[in-house]
A and B are shown apart, each in its own frame.
Chain A
Amino acid sequence: MTTHVKEDALLAQAADAPEKKSVEMPVGVPGYTLQNETIEVPVTEPPVWPINKDLKYVGHTAERYDGPAKASGRARYTSDVQLPGMLYAKLVNATVPHARVVSIDTSAAEKHPGVKGVHVIQHILGPAVLRDPSLEQVRYPVVRYAGQPVAAVAAMTPYAAEEAAKLVKVQYQTLPFVVDLDKAREPDAPQVFPGAADQAGSAGGGGGPHNVPQTGNIHGPSIKRVGDYEQGLKDADVVVEGHYLTQVQTHSALETHGVVADWKPDMLTVWASTQGTASVREELAAFFRIPLSQVRVITEYMGGGFGAKFGPGNPGVVAAALSQKTGAPVRLMLDRREEHLSVGNRPSSDQRIRIGAKKDGPLTAIHLVAYGTAGCGTGAGCSGPAQNLYQYASLHTEENDVFINAGPASAMRAPGHPQGAFALEQTMDELAVKLNMDPLELRDKTDSHPVRRVERQIVRESALWKSRNPVAGASQGPVKRGIGMAQSVWYRFVNMNSAAEVRIHQDGSLEVLSAVQDIGSGIKTVMAQILAEQFGVPPAQIAVKVGDTNYPVGPNSGGSVTTLSLTPAVRDAAWQASQKFLADIAPALGSSPGDLVLVGGEVRSRSDKFQPLSFRRAAAKMSSAQISVQARRIPDYDPKNYLTYGGVDVAEVEVDTEIGRIRVKRVLSVHDCGRPMNPTQTISQINGGVIQGISYTLFEHRLLDPGYGLMVNPDLDRYKIAGALEIPDIDVRLVEAYIGQSSTDASGIGEAAGVVSIGAAVGNAVYNATGVRVRQIPMTPSVVLAALHAARQGEEMA
């Protein structure tokens, strides 16, 4: 998780102590719990927005700002950038899972006629780092996974680069390796690191705890305790336990990681496929020891990240080094195989969970012991849902990272939460069965979150839920239908490094600028909507410029921070610019600033000194060519009020019990994200979360050969991702949930959307269909049939 983002936020908040005013803000869910609350806000804040139905542009559908560019193929992604004289780089990757590099002979590669430069990697990014580096005296970084980059070449054509990369001769001294979680936990297992090692995580989160013991390959436990769980289990009327397994998933963004780096004497310019222009700039400046002011990062469009694309990473550093060496721009985009192997994944989990409860519902104890592998990194912790979804009398969670010789994990959409929710929410479902209680009712008794209460009510009233037969395995025939639900939770993280500039030009045109990158969630559109709301101009007429560190700093897009962090800065800039604008034109209109208002795209005189004037005509009266205001994010109005949000997902499945095939037929996804800024785009993200969740639950699996430590499916056919014929009917219900925290009151959606809870919702639906609980994903025919057979044998033995 993005803990360091939180720390930044707290520091920034401590430094700010502005003068306050009291305002009335809408808080709660319209139609359910909406009320006005008095909230203290800085005096400089713009007027409070009403709820969405009373706004014109914000909270309503606006066409995706860059939709036409994307639909026409004009959108230029990093992989599309071609510069004069640009070279193509190709990595040389380790072919063994664990080894010391004895020598690297680049002479043959250098002689290749197309080659302009060769780079040998001296410092590898990604894997955990030894606490005591002196334990390893090596000339080159130790290879800890097959596919770890070792060197790179830059050549005039992609084919020349590919050929030359093959000419680099690397001599390895191979070391014993382990790629299996269970084997890696054995006392005599090969050691991935010769001592304790920690991984830092990225600007998007991920990484694991640092101050934990390490025994062999086991980095942990990291323990959290609330109360006495042993007593809690004794106090329980019912205890439910289970053993749950989840696999390693890769992000598999369609655009691979990569950059085009152009190193000039006074400026390093990098086009990067990244979720954080800021993170790429900061880490390149630090790596090469050059000032931030001499690094420019550009991300016009990026083809998916899902948590894996922060900082320059090895491709970014290598491309920059090669550009420095050759004096030419260098393009380094990973190929599909490299993308699977070396730039992150969602860690696996092996969870043993126990929940104790009173017979009327309240939880007396949650006990979770989890192991998981983040490869040669850390970040397999998955106890977030156990800690944060329900009220409990006691809690004990233990998280352990198990090192194996595989590529390091990175943050992936709601790190740890799909894994954790898969176990927790199936266990809660099992508890409801044991208590003979409706699963929604059990949550009503154990989950006090006011918005999820509303969301459960929406589920309860839905036709889908009403069609659920509470008796498991009741349907006849080999194909059985079932319905299940599960909940999700995510957290409100604010990235204070969020700023925007708004410019008003004399011709009445408007611009908004921020270094923030649009990773597909649609922040460009939302920025345009905010200006539209302020100036009364349609969003399509606003010029939105993002994805360039030449603009005011923008947040890194990880942990669902972008919209909630940046939009208040955009709105504040727009508001302040409008006030400056009115003050500027007042003399020319023979009026005073206090007399002027900007409403519905018109400048009006409160005292009717003149006929309402269109914004464009008013802009012509500006005293200079441009009015510009830059604003930065101010802290949440009530930062002590640490907020979570989430949703409730319902899945309907059909299980063909003869072949173990599960089809998800329908999904109802009820979610909150503060003030939805553009419901259409928000629904797109929730659809995506649901679909990624289904894909994770049923199909995806990174497979490493145990004998050789190599991935056998580093492609997009044997690595199976849900396609058009696997998509259920998805019914998204967006719940407006006002929380009174900022001038836009937006929240995030990317993490909580579907992806956290759908696995457990499917698992619970499979139980409802068959009476058999499948505790392992992906739920392939092999896994499902094994569970059905085991249950049948259990019945026969009983």
Chain B
Amino acid sequence: MSERSKDQPMSAEEQAKASSGRNGISRRGFLKGAGLTAAGTALLEGVQAFSSETEAKETGVREFGPGPVPVRLHVNGTEHTVTIEPRTTLAEALRINLGMTGTKIVCDRGSCSGCTVLLDKVPVNSCMVLAMDAVGHHVTTIEGISQGSEPHPVQAAFVKHDAMQCGYCTPGMVMSCAALLDRNPHPTEQDVRQAVAGNLCRCGTYPKVFAATLDAAGSTRNA
């Protein structure tokens, strides 16, 4: 589970577990997959894991859902078990099930990149990725790019250059710019603009996003 102290709010999953009574969520169709008999006895751990199971190997198919399924997500270097319906997007799983609310859902259609996370180091829109498609991959969120208490150079540069106003696009912007510097440590301003071409900022903070990222590239270079 995610590390949270007891006074932190409960995730929907914990709520669902905690609550009882007639209105509880139906657990119908928990797992229809071959080789799985009871909820929680087996975890979807990625293609490699399930293809090793006998029956799945024979048919090459395993079915999940439509009800909640326990899966293991590898987020920010830690394994988390979440119980989700297959329709759950990665953004929803992060925010609701894992309480990692730094990732924002803005357009919910892949148009604004407010939900940007890294999937094996590649920036993607987590609102358009099924959480189950992240199984077996390394997910990095805004919560996971700093080194302990030390902010990522892009985060530090965003603060230094005031590259934010309301801050709602900021996690997505930071993720896009950090990914850019990861693959291109010496970008031009045009490179930065292209890297955040899908990131919408309604406050209009772009000029400082460009400046901050170029500055962060400088500090990365000197490091």
Contact = CB atoms under 8 A, between A and B. Distances in A.
Given a CB threshold of 8 Å, the question of whether A touches B is answered with: yes
B168 A82 contact: no
Interface string A659-695: 0000000000000000000001101110111111001
B23 interface: yes
B164 to A, nearest CB: 5
Contacts of A113: 23-26
Nearest to B102: A73
A684 B10 contact: no
Contact of B102 (A63, A74, A81): A74
B151 A68 contact: yes
B170 A71 contact: yes
Question: 3 closest Cβ contacts across the A-B interface?
Answer: A73-B102, A691-B204, A303-B168
A681 B114 CA distance: 22
Contacts of A703: none
The CB with the most chain B CB atoms within 10 A, among A302, A306, A689, A727, is that of A727
Contacts of B174: 71
A156 B12 contact: yes
A683 B205 CA distance: 10
A520 B169 CA distance: 12
A194 to B, nearest CB: 37
B193 A156 contact: no
A297 B200 CA distance: 29
Contacts of B210: 724, 727
Contact of A717 (B109, B156, B158, B166): B109
Contact of B197 (A114, A301, A715, A725): A725
B130 interface: no
B181 to A, nearest CB: 15
Interface stretch (A143-151, A157-165, A388-396): A157-165
Interface string A65-81: 01111111111110111
B171 interface: yes
A254 B171 CA distance: 12
A356 interface: no
A684 to B, nearest CB: 5
Given A304-B166, A336-B106, A73 B12 contact: no
A68 B23 contact: no
Q: Taking each of A82, A301, A722, which has the highest tally of chain B beta carbons within 10 Å of its own beta carbon? A: A82
B204 A690 contact: yes
A115 B202 CA distance: 35
Given A63-B160, A336-B109, A72 B197 contact: no
Given A84-B18, A303-B168, A692-B204, 10 more contacts: A63-B160, A73-B103, A74-B102, A82-B101, A88-B12, A115-B23, A520-B166, A684-B208, A688-B205, A723-B200
14 contacts: A67-B162, A68-B159, A81-B9, A82-B12, A158-B96, A254-B114, A303-B166, A303-B168, A336-B108, A685-B165, A692-B202, A715-B107, A723-B199, A725-B197
B219 to A, nearest CB: 15
A725 B210 CA distance: 11
Contact of B167 (A75, A156, A721): A75
A254 B199 contact: no
B109 A84 contact: no
A86 B11 CA distance: 9
A81 B95 CA distance: 10
A304 B168 contact: yes
| Residue with the greatest number of chain B CB neighbours at <10 A, chosen from A74, A521, A716, A724 | A724
B146 interface: yes
Contact of A71 (B25, B95, B101, B164): B164
A186 interface: no
Interface of B: 9-12, 15-16, 18-19, 23-26, 85, 87, 92, 95-96, 99-109, 111-112, 114, 141-143, 146, 151, 155-156, 158-160, 162, 164-171, 174, 192-194, 196-210
A72 B151 contact: yes
Interface string A300-318: 0111101000000000000
A695 to B, nearest CB: 8
Interface in A319-353: 335-336
Interface in A407-427: none
Nearest to A333: B105
A72 B109 contact: no
A72 B102 contact: yes
Nearest to B26: A113
Contacts of B106: 254-255, 336, 716
A114 B9 contact: no
A82 B99 CA distance: 8
A548 B124 CA distance: 35
B162 A64 contact: yes
B167 A303 contact: yes
A177 B158 CA distance: 48
Contact of A725 (B12, B99, B162, B194): B194
A85 B193 contact: no
A520 B165 contact: yes
B111 A684 contact: no
A730 interface: yes
A116 B109 contact: no
A445 B42 CA distance: 81
Nearest to B208: A684
A665 B127 CA distance: 33
A253 interface: yes
Interface in A50-73: 63-64, 66-73
A48 interface: no
A114 B108 contact: no
Nearest to A686: B204
B168 A77 contact: yes
Contacts of A69: 167
A717 B207 CA distance: 22
A83 interface: yes
A73 B206 contact: no
Contacts of B204: 687-692, 695, 722
Contacts of A688: 165, 203-205
A73 B141 contact: yes
A488 interface: no
Contact of B203 (A72, A76, A84, A304): A304
A718 B168 CA distance: 21
Contacts of B108: 335-336
A519 interface: yes
A724 B26 contact: no
A115 B198 CA distance: 36
A73 B23 contact: no
Contacts of A77: 101, 104, 168
Contact of A687 (B10, B23, B205): B205
Contact of A82 (B9, B194, B198): B9
B9 A72 contact: no
Contact of B166 (A63, A254, A680, A695): A254
Given A81-B9, A684-B208, A72 B155 contact: yes
A254 B202 contact: yes
A495 interface: no
A505 to B, nearest CB: 23
Given A80-B95, A716-B109, A723-B198, A520 B9 contact: no
A538 B83 CA distance: 47
Given A63-B159, A687-B207, A717-B109, A157 B104 contact: no
Contact of B107 (A71, A82, A158, A336): A336
Contacts of A498: none
Nearest to B100: A73
Give the residue among A75, A254, A685, A716 with the most B Cβ atoms within 10 A: A254
A84 B10 contact: yes
Given A63-B162, A81-B9, A156-B19, A73 B142 contact: yes
A252 interface: yes
